[in-house]
Structure formats: C-alpha cells, structure tokens
C-alpha cells in the first residue's frame, strides 16, 4: 500500500481529521509529527462527534497503530485526559499508541508563559490557542527542555529534575512578569504519576518505525495546522512554532523522504483562519458571518469564531509548490451549496502591481488585495453525492476550475461531516 502524507494547505482547520479518518483504512500506522494539543481534529462517526488534539485520528480505525513523533510537543496532562476520554467512549488506545522519547515535554509553565507573552504583545498578539506551544518549542530550541524520554527516568530523579525546571520557570515568571509561582512539588508529583501511566507507550522511533522505514509497513502521516501557519514558510510572526509543511514530516519522525509517499494537501472549498495575521480574502461583517454560520466555523480547540473568506488560489498555489503536493482534497464543498455566487482570488494587487506568487513578507501580505474571479453558485444540495456525477454541474465546474488553476489532481471531495460523505476521485475531477 502506498504511503500518504496529508498536509493542511491553508491556515489549519481544513478538515484533515475527517479526511485522515476516511482515508485511514488499511494503513498500519497513522503518524503525527509536529505541533501539540493546539490541533483539534474532528471526526464524526455516526451520530457521535469526536475531537482529538494529540492522538492521531487513526485511533478511530481498529488495529491501526498510532505514533506521536519527536517533532511534537506533548502535554502529558492533556494526553492522559485524551486517552481516558477515548477509552470512556469504547476505543482502545494504550496498546497501539507509541510516543517518541525525543518529543518535547510541554509543562504547565509553558501554558502560563503562552498567556503572559500574549498579554504582553497586546494588540500585536498572535491569538495563540493558549496551549503553551511556542514556549515549549522555545525550550526545545534553547536545549533546556524536558523530553518524553525523561518520563522513563527513575521516579525520584524525574521528580527532582521536574522540580528544578519548575523552580527555574518560577524565577522567570516572577522576574519577567511579576507573576505568581506554580506549585513545584505538587506538579512534579503529578508528573511522576503521569510518567507511570505513559511509560509503557514511550518508544524509540528508530526501532518501532523500522517496518515503515524498510517498506514492510504502511503509514499515513497526519499533518496538523496548515502551510500558512508554518514557522518558516507561513505568515510569520502570525504562525505556530512548528513546521506544518512537508519537511516537518521528515524531521518530526526521523524517517527518510522516500517514506512519505503521496503528498496530499487538504483545502477547504473556501478559507478560514483563527487567530490574528494576514488573510487577503477575508470577508468582513455580514458576509463573513454568513459563511461562518453556514460552515459552523468555530475552533475545535478553543471554540473561537473563525475568520472566513473566499478560496485563495495565490495562497493555495504557494502550498502546492512548497509541499510538492501531488494530490488535493477539497473539503466542506456542501457549505457553499446555498450561495448564488462564489468568488475565488486568482491574483493579488499590491500597490497597483499584480502578484501571482504569495508574498511572504508580512507587510506585503497584509496590504495585498485579492483580484477575484466570479463564479456562479449551484444552489443545490451536494451532501448526498457519492460520486462525481452525483454533483450538480455548477459544483463540478467549480472543482474543475480549482483543479485547472492549481495544476494538481483533486483526488477527493468531502461533502459533509460523516465518514461516508466523501467522493474519491483518484483520476481527478476534469472529465
Ligand atoms: P499556537 O500554535 O497555539 O501557538 O497558535 C499560533 C497560531 O496558530 C494562532 O493563530 C492559532 O490560532 C493558530 N493555530 C494553532 N493550531 C491551530 C489549529 O490546529 N488550527 C488552526 N489554527 C491553529
């Protein structure tokens, strides 16, 4: 079976959880490789909706092994809660969850710093999820952070090291922010208890992923967030702190490039963004609110209303190029069903100059104005379509236009929340 890497093509929230779940059947492994509990992957199975933040969406497929890669930042408190919640809804987790010993450990003080840095930035705040992601990666890069592998240390040593780290953080909380200290002993004891729960799942990636490396086991790589939130290639500084683009799958797992298989980008049929930062096709006021209501666009992790706007070909072509996408899945097509007219940005206007490449400089991406193409809506429901020919002609034309403009085959279309509301189009949508 050919491996696959699924990557968010926009600003996250493209519906990757649903696509990974729909395409996840038959893979030996589903692997996450970057980010942490800032992600919120929603999967609808029958009448029940599940959201996972750290655990790969493969957990909803029996028998699939799930791996948390070394490129991630793992909050052990959040991970324990997620395991318990999944078990409470009847899913087996522990015997098929593997956590890389090299992943960074996200501690309660990282969350506190996240909040305080955001407050300090005031109107230039990033609008983070508040899950401590930036500060945890900061400690990783400063080479001072704890790692998942430390949870396997003798418990007394772990407690001692944890107390040292929390006390150091307390000093910074006090000197930088005049903030209250965190209870070092209590948190260190909690961490010791968590370590005992998580230890059996800690794994050495080089060993457990041998089958993937040698090609005897198949893997689906589950990206979190999206291309434009990438720390290096996104709309910096309004980004997350990891590599959400394809390179993250390599550094975040230690697997070689040949293991990635097909690189598939997931795009919504329109655009959304949570948090602050450039969003050239954003619709403001009523138009934006209308799309938000139609799409139920509220953050899966924080519940925040998402900013909404039209599909942006300039940004999407950037994602195609940066990630080397060789397939695209379009999600939430059904959200556009009732609209009489649709717009798509084909280029930007920057101070009177026409741009076709996404401007990565912040000031340029903030000032760029979309140049739209107008397309008719189809004004018919698509939720029951299970093959391309079931779709209204207008919806097919929209997809053909996107496929042509992106220069990459659309290999799947999602027309609703449930697993079966998916049209697979391995040979594309242009007939
Ligand atoms: P952080 O990752 O919590 O530091 O947040 C940085 C930026 O990335 C903020 O704009 C967040 O809203 C955004 N972000 C982080 N995770 C996600 C996600 O899973 N979906 C969409 N946006 C995200």
Q: What is the DSSP string of 205-224?
A: HHHHTHHHHHTSS-EEEE--
Q: Give the least confident one: 237-241, 292-296, 298-302, 340-344.
A: 298-302
Residue 41 has pLDDT above 90, yes or no: no
Which pLDDT does position 138 carry in this prediction? 98
Q: Which of ligand 1's atoms lies nearest the C-alpha of 133?
A: 4
Nearest-CA residue for ligand 1 atom 9 is: 128
Q: Could you tell me the maximum CA-CA distance found in the chain, to the nearest angstrom?
A: 67
The pairing of strands 41-45 and 65-68 is unpaired
CA of 178 to the centre of ligand 1 (A): 27
Whether 53 is catalytic? no
Residue 338 token pair: 């009732």
* DSSP category for residue 324: T
* DSSP category for residue 123: G
Query: Rounded to the nearest 5 degrees, what angle is found at the Cα of 184, between the Cα atoms of 125 and 155?
Result: 120
Residue in 7, 10, 15, 38 to alter for ligand 1 test, most ligand atoms within 8 A of Cβ: 38
Beta bridge partners of 74: 105
Consecutive H or E run containing 346: strand 341-350
* Domains of the chain, first to last: 4-100+203-263 (3.40.440.10), 105-199 (1.10.300.10), 266-424 (3.90.170.10)
Q: 127: Cβ below 6 Å to ligand 1?
A: yes
Which pLDDT does position 254 carry in this prediction? 98
Residues across the chain: 431
pTM of the predicted model, to two decimals? 0.97
Mean pLDDT of 103-130: 96
CA of 186 to the centre of ligand 1 (A): 29
Which pLDDT does position 21 carry in this prediction? 83
Residue in 7, 12, 233, 236 to alter for ligand 1 test, most ligand atoms within 8 A of Cβ: 12
Q: 131: Cβ below 6 Å to ligand 1?
A: yes
Residue 299 has pLDDT above 90, yes or no: no
Q: 36: Cβ below 6 Å to ligand 1?
A: no
Residues above pLDDT 70, as percent of the chain:
100
Nearest residue to 345 (alpha-carbon basis) of 310, 320, 376: 310
Nearest-CA residue for ligand 1 atom 12 is: 275
Nearest-CA residue for ligand 1 atom 10 is: 275
Q: How far is CA 39 from CA 1, 23, 176, 233, 244, in A?
A: 27, 19, 28, 18, 11
Higher-pLDDT residue of 61 and 279 is: 279
Beta bridge partners of 73: 104
Q: 40: Cβ below 6 Å to ligand 1?
A: yes
Please tell me the number of Cα atoms within 13 Å of 239 on its side-chain side.
22
Residue 43 has pLDDT above 90, yes or no: no
CA of 274 to the centre of ligand 1 (A): 7
The terminus-to-terminus CA distance of the chain in angstroms comes to 27
**277 contacts 235 by C-beta, under 8 angstroms:** yes
Strand locations in 33-178, DSSP E?
41-45, 48-52, 65-68, 73-74, 97-100, 104-105
Q: Which of ligand 1's atoms lies nearest the C-alpha of 242?
A: 2
Q: 323: Cβ below 6 Å to ligand 1?
A: no
The pairing of strands 341-350 and 311-312 is parallel
Q: 14: Cβ below 6 Å to ligand 1?
A: no
Residue whose tokens read 């739209």: 372
Cα torsion at 140, 142, 146, 149 (round to 10°)? 60
Residue in 128, 238, 295, 304 to alter for ligand 1 test, most ligand atoms within 8 A of Cβ: 128
Q: How far is CA 59 from CA 76, 90, 340, 418, in A?
A: 18, 11, 39, 16
Residue 303 has pLDDT above 90, yes or no: no
**Backbone dihedral region of 296: left (phi > 0), alpha (psi from -120 to 50 degrees) or beta?**
left
Whether 13 is catalytic? yes
Query: Rounded to the nearest 5 degrees, what angle is found at the Cα of 322, between the Cα atoms of 317 and 326?
Result: 70
Q: 242: Cβ below 6 Å to ligand 1?
A: no
Mean pLDDT of 206-233: 98
Q: Measured in whole angstroms, how far is the alpha carbon of residue 100 from the centre of its chain?
A: 19
CA of 331 to the centre of ligand 1 (A): 19
Which pLDDT does position 1 carry in this prediction? 79
The total of other beta-carbon atoms located within 10 Å of residue 347's CB is 17
Residue 179 has pLDDT above 90, yes or no: yes
CA of 52 to the centre of ligand 1 (A): 15
Q: 13: Cβ below 6 Å to ligand 1?
A: yes
Higher-pLDDT residue of 353 and 51 is: 353
Q: 274: Cβ below 6 Å to ligand 1?
A: yes
Higher-pLDDT residue of 141 and 44 is: 141
Residue whose tokens read 């193409």: 373
What is the distance between the alpha carbons of residues 258 and 130, in angstroms, rounded to a whole number? 35
Q: 126: Cβ below 6 Å to ligand 1?
A: yes
From the candidates 41, 110, 165, 233, which is the catalytic residue? 41
Which pLDDT does position 135 carry in this prediction? 98
* Cβ partners under 8 Å of residue 345, min gap 6: 280, 281, 310, 311, 312, 313, 314, 315, 370, 371, 372, 373
Model confidence band, residue 73 (pLDDT cutoffs 50, 70, 90): very high
CA of 37 to the centre of ligand 1 (A): 10
Q: 12: Cβ below 6 Å to ligand 1?
A: yes
Which pLDDT does position 183 carry in this prediction? 98
């Amino acid at each position: 079976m050919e491996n696959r890497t699924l990557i968010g093509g926009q600003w996250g929230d493209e519906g990757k959880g649903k696509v990974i779940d729909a395409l996840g059947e038959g893979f030996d492994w589903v692997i996450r490789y970057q980010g942490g509990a800032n992600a919120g992957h929603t999967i609808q199975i029958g009448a029940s909706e599940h959201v996972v933040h750290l655990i790969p969406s493969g957990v909803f497929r029996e028998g699939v092994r799930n791996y948390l890669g070394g490129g991630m930042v793992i909050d052990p408190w959040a991970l324990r809660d997620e395991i318990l919640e999944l078990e409470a809804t009847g899913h087996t987790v522990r015997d098929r969850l593997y956590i890389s010993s090299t992943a960074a450990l996200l501690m309660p003080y990282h969350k506190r710093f996240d909040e305080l840095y955001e407050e300090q930035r005031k109107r230039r705040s990033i609008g983070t999820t508040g899950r401590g992601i930036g500060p945890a990666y900061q400690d990783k890069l400063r080479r001072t952070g704890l790692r998942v592998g430390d949870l396997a240390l003798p418990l007394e040593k772990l407690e001692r090291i944890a107390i040292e780290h929390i006390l150091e953080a307390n000093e910074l909380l006090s000197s930088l922010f005049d903030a209250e200290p965190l209870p070092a002993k209590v948190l260190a004891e909690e961490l010791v208890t968590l370590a005992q729960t998580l230890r059996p799942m800690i794994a050495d990636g080089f060993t457990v992923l041998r089958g993937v490396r040698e090609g005897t086991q198949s893997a689906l790589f589950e990206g979190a967030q999206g291309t434009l939130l990438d720390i290096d290639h996104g709309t910096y500084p309004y980004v997350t702190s990891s590599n959400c683009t394809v390179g993250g799958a390599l550094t975040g797992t230690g697997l070689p490039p040949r293991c990635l298989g097909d690189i598939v980008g997931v795009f919504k049929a329109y655009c959304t963004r949570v948090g602050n930062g450039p969003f050239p096709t954003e619709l403001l006021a009523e138009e934006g609110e209308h799309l938000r209501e139609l799409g139920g666009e509220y953050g899966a992790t924080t519940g925040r209303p998402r900013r909404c706007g039209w599909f942006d070909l300039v940004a999407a072509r950037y994602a195609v190029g940066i990630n080397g996408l060789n397939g695209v899945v379009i999600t939430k097509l059904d959200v556009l069903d009732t609209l009489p007219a649709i717009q798509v940005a084909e280029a930007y206007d920057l101070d009177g100059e026409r741009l076709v490449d996404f401007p990565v400089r912040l000031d340029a991406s903030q000032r760029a104005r979309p140049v739209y193409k107008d397309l008719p809506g189809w004004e018919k429901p698509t939720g029951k379509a299970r093959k391309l020919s079931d779709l209204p002609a207008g919806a097919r034309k929209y997809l053909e236009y996107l496929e042509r403009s992106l220069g990459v085959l659309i290999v799947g279309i999602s027309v609703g929340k449930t697993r079966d509301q998916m049209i697979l189009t391995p040979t594309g949508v242009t007939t």
